Each structure stands twice: as C-alpha cells, then as structure tokens.
Amino acid sequence: MKRLLLNPPFLKNFSRPQRSPAVTKSGTLYFPMWLAYATGALQKSGFEVDLVDAPADNHDVAYCVKRAKEFSPGLIVIDTSTPSIYNDIDIAGRLKDELPEAFIILVGTHVSALPEETLRIDNRIDAVAQYEYDYTLPELAKTLGKKGDLSEVAGIIFRDNGKFVHTTRRPFINDLDELPRVSEVYRKFLKVENYFNPNALYPMLTITTSRGCPFPCTFCVYPQTLMGRGFRLRSVENVVAELEYIVEHFPQVKAVFFEDDTLTVNKERCKALAELIIQKGIKISWTANSRVSLDYETMRIMKQAGCRSFCVGFESGSQRILDNMKKKIKLAEMEIFMTHTKRAGILIHGCFMAGLPGETKETLSQTLNLAKRLNPDTVQFYPVMVYPGTEAYNWYREKGLITVADFSKWITSEGLHNTVISTEELSSAELVSFCDDARRKFYLRPGYIFYKLKQLFTHPQEIRRTLKAARTFVKYLIKGSGITSDKC
C-alpha cells in the first residue's frame, strides 16, 4: 500500500505549517516540517511514499487529484490549519470521491484540538490524528494493510457505525534521535528555494533540535495541540550530524533555522551544541527562537559557532500583561538580554502582541516604547491570534471576545491574518490601528533607516534576504493593514 502526504492547495503562498497560518506580508513560507518528519517515519518503516507541498509548488486541486490517482495510495494524509480547514476538508472529500478505497486522515493543530467537530463537517473523512503523528501513521498504515482493528492504533479518532472512537492517546516521542533526518526528506521531495523566512539568510532549511516547551504561555499553539509541555531533546551529536549532511548535500543553502519552540531553554546544551559545531568545523549561518533569559557567555559561544540571529517573543511592555499571559519573564530581563545580544553581535527579531488579556491604550503605548527602547534589528506588531486548543482561545471565547465564529474568517480574502478578537476595552479595529501605527513609528525612524542602510553596506550577505522580505512588506508598511493583523 502506498502513502500520500499532502499539504493541500489553498491560496497562493499560503504558509499553512507556521504557528499562525496565513499569506504573510513578509513573503514567509514555512517548510511542511511536521508532515516531512512523518514522511520520513513512513519511509523508515518501509512504505512507498509521496510528499506534495501544493502551496510551495503552486499546484492546484486538479493537479493534486491527478497526481494522487496516478500514485494510487491506500492512505492519504492531509495537513490542515484553522483558517483553511473548510478548504482542506473539501479537498480531502474530493480525493475520497476519486479514490474511494483510500483511507483519508487529517493531521495538524486544528484537528488535534477539535477532532469530532472536524469529522462532523464531512463524512467522507475517515479519521483525524491527535498530537504527534510521526509513529501514528506507520502503525495506521500497517493496520490498514492487514485489515486490522483501528481501535488498536493509538492517537487517532475515527468513525465506527456513526460513532466516533477515540483510541488510546499516543505517548510523546522520547528518543528523538530515532526519527529520520527531515533534511533528507526535503532533499527527496521539496525545492528548498521555494521557502523563505526573513529571519534567516536565503535560501535556508528549517529543522528542529527538540520538541515541546516547558513554559506555560497561554497563546502558543504547538505545545498545547501537538508537542506538549515537556521538553524533549535530540542529542547534540545527532543535530550536528544533520548539519554536516545539510552542508554536504545542499551547497546552495546559506542558513539553518532551528524551529524549536525555544532552543535556548537549556544553556549548557546550547554551549555543547555550539562547541561541537566549532569542533567539527561546520561553517553555516543559523537562527533560533530564544527567550530573554539567555546569558552573554552562552551567546558568545553560539555566535562563534555561526548563530546569526534570534527570534524573541517580547510580547508586551507591561509586566501585568506579561503575567496575565503566563510569559514568565520580566521587563528588566529584556533590557539585559538586548545588551548582551548587541555585545555578542547577534541580531534580534522582536515579536510584540496587541490585545492580550488586560490590554489598554496605556499598555499598548508601553509596548511601542519598549520596542523602540530595545531597538532590535527587525520587529513585528500584531493583534494576538488565538487558535482552538489553547488557553487563550478558551479565555477569549468565554469572555465573548472572539468576534467571528467562522474559522475561514481567521484570514482575509487575500489570506492575510484577520483580527478575530477584541478586548474588554479595545475593538479589533483599534488593535489593528495600533499595530499599523507602531510599525511605521518603529521602521520609519531616521536612525533606523540609517542603521539598515549601513548594515546592507557592511554586511552584503544580508542584502538578498532583506530585499526579498521588503518586496511585499514595504507595501503594507505604507498602506497599513485595513482590518487585518500583521503576524509574519
């Protein structure tokens, strides 16, 4: 039995695999990383597999149906997201019509959070997977192949005589070193030049060195719907071996983005990883998500090993707001962190949210002032996006602060993030207006413009990624978002 894994077509350049799926203003397009890891797990189990990333390759529904019919898989795995869920289910149904013997299973954060609600939308869908599905799919494939009992496959919800059967919850994967290298899957199935993240040099690859996050932030979707709160690690030797593979087999790639929820949770591991990269003589730029608790000495070693930048969630300039969202950081830590990063020569992309619980015009002003004071290399301001399965979604829904019920309205007709929440004091329009204004006030400062021009002159390797991001971003910087938010 063959297996097809599909990131289905939707809007052009729709970045479904990112934490807040949308067509982004910066041109960001994420690798289908979790789908690719699962592809590798199926290959390792001996199955013939095809992986199709329709948005990246600009494939339409007709192409995907034709390719599926030619491949004739017995199992079709379809990635989903909240704003595209109705589209994704429709495509799944069309594939079922064309290949009625195929078993259709949906994966992703949305269906993991709302399995029964998803299955009720279309009875052509056979099942959904919850949480990590790397090992769920090979077990499902084997069970289907021998016409076994689906109730014995952990981690799925399926139909049985008009009822929904929830099987045993699958444990999270503890030995991440057992998983195949996702970069090998990319090499076989994807064109790396299709993908872009403005926080890394272009072209780049995205991998992960860990799964899960130990911090209790209320809005973060992956720990609450896919990977859990526990922090599980690949060995540094395993990670560095993959970096060696990337350098050898992707000569065009200029950078690696470590898309861990927070790479820097364990400082000693960060040092060990950096030291082994240096010892092995690996020369490639890399970027990671970081918290503000990282110390200078660790940064210094990471910089020496090729670390170019961090993506950091500062979120708010109000300590009260940070506490409300369970961020577990202090404003004073941010100031120290930025001092250390500038000393170490590491660039920072700062993320700032509007509309968090307790938000007022005064706290928004504090957030803008903080962004200017910290003065990272780049920033994003965006109204908070809430997704099913998160504490944040439940809080806004219980307060009656989610302004639409239709998940397709989580984005605009263009595919941009739509602001679907308000606060007890501020409307959706006011939140968007703040983000538009804050973006201009940050980026159009004469001092910032001079800094960027100087950076491009002194660091020409930055030119390609800066111009690629600016191609679409400048348009939105000038005209604003209208009714939409600005998450990159």
DSSP letter string, 278-294: HHHT---EEEEEE-TT-
The secondary structure element, H or E, covering residue 435 is helix 428-443
Round to whole Å and give the CA distance between 90 and 108: 16
Taking 90 as the threshold, does the pLDDT of residue 343 lie above it? yes
User: For all residues of the chain together, what is the average pLDDT?
Assistant: 95
Taking 80 as the threshold, does the pLDDT of residue 24 lie above it? yes
pLDDT band at 476 (very low <50, low <70, confident <90, very high): low
Taking 50 as the threshold, does the pLDDT of residue 181 lie above it? yes
Question: Where are the chain's structural domains?
Answer: 3-166, 197-479
Q: Residues 433-437: what's their mean pLDDT?
A: 96
pTM: 0.94
Q: Which residue has the higher pLDDT, 457 or 389?
A: 389
Taking 80 as the threshold, does the pLDDT of residue 120 lie above it? yes
End-to-end Cα separation, the chain, in angstroms: 39
Taking 90 as the threshold, does the pLDDT of residue 471 lie above it? no
- DSSP for 141-188 reads HHHHHTT--GGGSTTEEEEETTEEEE-PPPPPPS-GGGSPPHHHHHHH
Each residue's pLDDT tens digit, 256-279:
999 999 999 999 999 999 999 999
Round to whole Å and give the CA distance between 399 and 173: 36
pLDDT band at 459 (very low <50, low <70, confident <90, very high): confident
In this structure, are strands 163-166 and 232-233 parallel, antiparallel, or unpaired?
unpaired
Conformation bin of residue 47: beta by default, left when phi > 0, alpha when psi is -120 to 50 = beta
Q: What is the pLDDT of residue 473?
A: 66
Round to whole Å and give the CA distance between 205 and 254: 8
Q: Residues 106-128: what's their mean pLDDT?
A: 98
Which superfamily does CATH assign the domain made up of 197-479 to?
Answer: tm_1862 like domain (3.80.30.20)
Taking 80 as the threshold, does the pLDDT of residue 45 lie above it? yes
Beta bridge partners of 127: 105, 158
Q: Which residue has the higher pLDDT, 333 or 451?
A: 333
Round to whole Å and give the CA distance between 455 and 457: 5
Taking 60 as the threshold, does the pLDDT of residue 484 lie above it? no
Round to whole Å and give the CA distance between 378 and 279: 31
Q: Residues 243-262: what's their mean pLDDT?
A: 97
Q: Residues 203-231: what's their mean pLDDT?
A: 96
Task: Identify the weakest region by mean pLDDT among 19-28, 93-102, 289-298.
Answer: 19-28
SS3 content of the chain, % helix, strand, coil (to 5): 45, 15, 40
Q: Residues 419-438: what's their mean pLDDT?
A: 96
Which superfamily does CATH assign the domain made up of 3-166 to?
Answer: Response regulator (3.40.50.2300)
